[in-house]
Structure 1
């Protein structure tokens, strides 16, 4: 039986503000306590947590709308350490692996490089100041692949970062494009994890218009689905078999309907490139990727587990955006996961993947 002692002990004192975000739990006397599974203490690691650095604003003509929007939680992306620690403690999250969603792919190369430089310096400083609570993904100027290679190498070798956060494409250019091969080669060489976080599919904005925020609700998972499918079908993952990919939001729609990919070229050979012969079935490539747990229900986790294996799932919340304010509870509720698998999902797998001491 999974032990929830130490996990729920302080939950009663946690409140939520009107926008759904956690209030400063420390102000209410909430203390950070350990999560235990089957009597074993777990270091919980949230691999999907966001931040921005206001130091870039002068490069953006002080246009705060580039960094902020009307989405709930956006005002907490500039990290106030005490506030963030209080929220993490209330969520039972020991460490966040921080990332900045790329907003610079369509900008001038030199300007983008300046933004990335500041992001990576500030990320490294933040993580070095609080190594027990924060780890970080680098930003990359992917529109200039040769520059991205140098940025990634510096991030991994000199700045202590764990890899890089990338979008679902680069201003409409898919990651399977050969221009990005040097970046993937360097990531493979360094053992860098590439966290794929979608930016939507603006080509469909007209159809997404109307109620339901479909540009995000559907557009974001679709962006990830396309990115992963392209990397599989264009042979990129055969070229770089050691590439470590972590996909946000449970990998989008792909794991939920991946088996269709195994049949597509059989049903329509004309729709596939005869010059590309994959080394494995498309679904088998999913077993060499990692996926965060931000898919909301135990049944969704059960299906993802059946498709890719529990060993490929890591904790993710999207904090400070209020998609999943109780990410650890979510894993405890998954009866399909054994105690050992819960320990792995909550932090063990991420620690190994990202070389984080526990």
Structure 2
């Protein structure tokens, strides 16, 4: 049992040698995320070798820089985020060395969408370059890299073609999308052809939020709240619209992976089951969902970027351990050793740990486990 005295003693010990940063305890954060050490490759669970697959890792390509304005180019080249410079994977050996140290066999790469607000032709050029470069990188190291395609989602007809080309001709494993497109929610019927194509191809879509700029004033101040709170909030909103507007009913075979543990939905999903009973005026009587809102979480995949064994235990209890896949946000230093808190989660069986570490993702992406 943890007493107040033992907690304070442990906290005091952990604070020894701490280096302070602008909004907290950097050294302590590194310790929590495995920055001070952890498992390395190869990874075994119960004596069985497991191929670890990180579904949430990022990259950028300088090849698109000439298509951007100076301000936007600088934001990609020199973003004020620790680890961002490593997103360019140059040289490849440096990324592989980092993956080895993280005990990650394979990364599924994605690029956060910055092109939704651009005109159709320019966005298409950016996406074309990125998908070609992703395919080239993965072809060079097929045992270490897979990738989500970029899509010109503001032009759904074009996105459908891009997704088909990416999967059938370029060997990419699905697509990475934001949390909203220029203020239009994914539940809007205009996106249905994209979801239908993903169903047809049998590939997952990775939702990675971009924040909620409408709340910029309230997010101002210490703590990088635009990301800390804003990113999980946007994912929560996106998933909730897909559930409540009936998108998952219309596309029952749609595979969605939600970043950052799905935002806040996995922590408070049961509230969604009561909303239309308590406040029917806020619900559309024409929309008849096939099941309770919380039950749709069983058909969504969630990455494991929730930081602690207790958070993993709770997420698994809510959505099922077979719906969780490994995620780190690499090269951004949110989770230095993403496999460690999976092993530390005592409520999981060895089989469940192996599934989260890589077996579920291997099935999703049709790669060897």
Is the contact made by 2:199 and 2:254 (CA closer than 8 Å) also made in structure 1? yes
Q: Residue in 1 aligned with 2:51?
A: 43
The superposition leaves residues 19-57 of structure 1 with CA deviations (integer Å, 9 ceiling, x where unpaired) of: 9899xxxxxxxx973101110000000000000011001
Please show how residues 198-237 of structure 1 align to structure 2 within 5 Å. Answer: 198-237=209-248
1:129 aligns with 2:137: no
1:64 aligns with 2:73: yes
- TM (norm. structure 2) is 0.88
Residue 66 of structure 1, CA deviation? 3.6
Q: Residue in 2 aligned with 1:329?
A: 340
Give the whole-Å Cα distance in 2 for the aligned partners of 1:286 and 1:32.
32
The superposition leaves residues 245-297 of structure 1 with CA deviations (integer Å, 9 ceiling, x where unpaired) of: 00000000001000000000000111000110000000110000100000011
The superposition leaves residues 54-103 of structure 1 with CA deviations (integer Å, 9 ceiling, x where unpaired) of: 10011014553241410101111101211100100001100000000000
Q: Following superposition, which runs of at least 4 residues in structure 1 exceed 6 angstroms of deviation?
A: 18-22
Is the contact made by 2:203 and 2:364 (CA closer than 8 Å) also made in structure 1? no
Give the whole-Å Cα distance in 1 for the aligned partners of 2:175 and 2:295.
24
1:73 aligns with 2:83: yes
Give the whole-Å Cα distance in 2 for the aligned partners of 1:122 and 1:50.
13
Give the whole-Å Cα distance in 2 for the aligned partners of 1:131 and 1:357.
11
| Gap change, CA 1:171 and 1:66, over 3 Å in 2 | farther
Q: Residue in 1 aligned with 2:42?
A: 34
Is the contact made by 2:56 and 2:108 (CA closer than 8 Å) also made in structure 1? yes
1:113 aligns with 2:124: yes
The superposition leaves residues 301-321 of structure 1 with CA deviations (integer Å, 9 ceiling, x where unpaired) of: 111101110000000000000
Q: Residue in 1 aligned with 2:274?
A: 263
CA RMSD across the alignment: 1.7
Residue 238 of structure 1, CA deviation? 0.4
Q: Residue in 1 aligned with 2:362?
A: 351
Is the contact made by 2:41 and 2:105 (CA closer than 8 Å) also made in structure 1? no
1:305 aligns with 2:321: no
Give the whole-Å Cα distance in 1 for the aligned partners of 2:303 and 2:166.
23
- TM (norm. structure 1) is 0.91
The superposition leaves residues 100-158 of structure 1 with CA deviations (integer Å, 9 ceiling, x where unpaired) of: 00000011111000000000000000000100000000000000000000000001100
Give the whole-Å Cα distance in 2 for the aligned partners of 1:47 and 1:106.
26
SS of residue matched to 2:339: helix
Is the contact made by 1:149 and 1:182 (CA closer than 8 Å) also made in structure 2? yes
| Gap change, CA 1:41 and 1:113, over 3 Å in 2 | same
Give the whole-Å Cα distance in 2 for the aligned partners of 1:72 and 1:171.
27
Residue 226 of structure 1, CA deviation? 0.2
- Which one of 86, 96, 99 corresponds to residue 97 of structure 2? 86
Give the whole-Å Cα distance in 1 for the aligned partners of 2:189 and 2:54.
32
**Size of the alignment, in residue pairs?**
334
Q: Residue in 2 aligned with 1:286?
A: 297
Is the contact made by 2:59 and 2:88 (CA closer than 8 Å) also made in structure 1? yes
- The gaps in structure 2 that reach 5 residues or longer are 1-20, 31-38
Is the contact made by 2:111 and 2:150 (CA closer than 8 Å) also made in structure 1? yes
